[in-house]
Structure 1
Amino acid sequence: MKRNWLNVLFLVGVGLMVVVSCVIIIKTLEKKSITDHGIEVLAKVVEAPSSCDDLGRRPPYSKIEYNNQIFIKKTGNQFCHLVSKKDSVKMLTNRKGDELLFPNEYNPAQFVYASLLILIAVVITIRKFWF
């Protein structure tokens, strides 16, 4: 009986890995689409880090307004200089205007990470139940 519960927990964990991978792939596809076919817009910086010198371990967030919507964006070392002490910033958006990306926010390596996570889940499942 105990072994059956462990198998169920195992399958739930593997299922969670696959779901997370699929979400990462979908979000990365959206970012790629916006990067390739998006519209460059000028958005208002509502709130941003005052300095990019000492961001700490947890990256700060910025509030950026576009089309009467506030977008909260992670502003790590890569994007801090774009918003710090600025009134506006160039961003990319989709046709609906409901997504906002920094230029170069799309990272194609995320496809690789998500694919590897799915591959690991499949290999673990095969090793567990067929060997």
Structure 2
Amino acid sequence: MTQATAIDTELLEQYAQALGVEGLAQTLETFDKVIEGYWAILLQSFEQKNDQALRQQAHKVKGACRSLGMLGLAEPMEAIEKNDWQWPEAETLLQTFDSRLAPQREAVVKWLQQR
């Protein structure tokens, strides 16, 4: 499994036991709605070169991703949140996130379908 599709199946299994597969699927739908708004704010913070706002928003995005076991998405957000970087590096991390979003989501959907 590549980093782009790495998911925390242990965490997903715990959620599936607690919420049921349908509840977890609804959580994924909520994630889809929330992440769109988070992403827009993240990009706005980047465009405005607002370091503090970008780091704060990356923290929110990271948390949303980890809540569904999307490790490959949380990784670049954690780097933006915690690491020292220059703006070109932040842009690369944002691109990494963007390129991993669909594969990560698909990996969770595939995992759900196997339940």
Shorter chain as denominator, the TM-score bin is 0.3 to 0.5
TM-score when normalising by structure 2: 0.36
Instruction: Give the greater-gyration-radius structure (CA).
Output: 1
TM-score when normalising by structure 1: 0.33
User: Which structure has greater strand proportion?
Assistant: 1
User: Which structure has greater helix proportion?
Assistant: 2
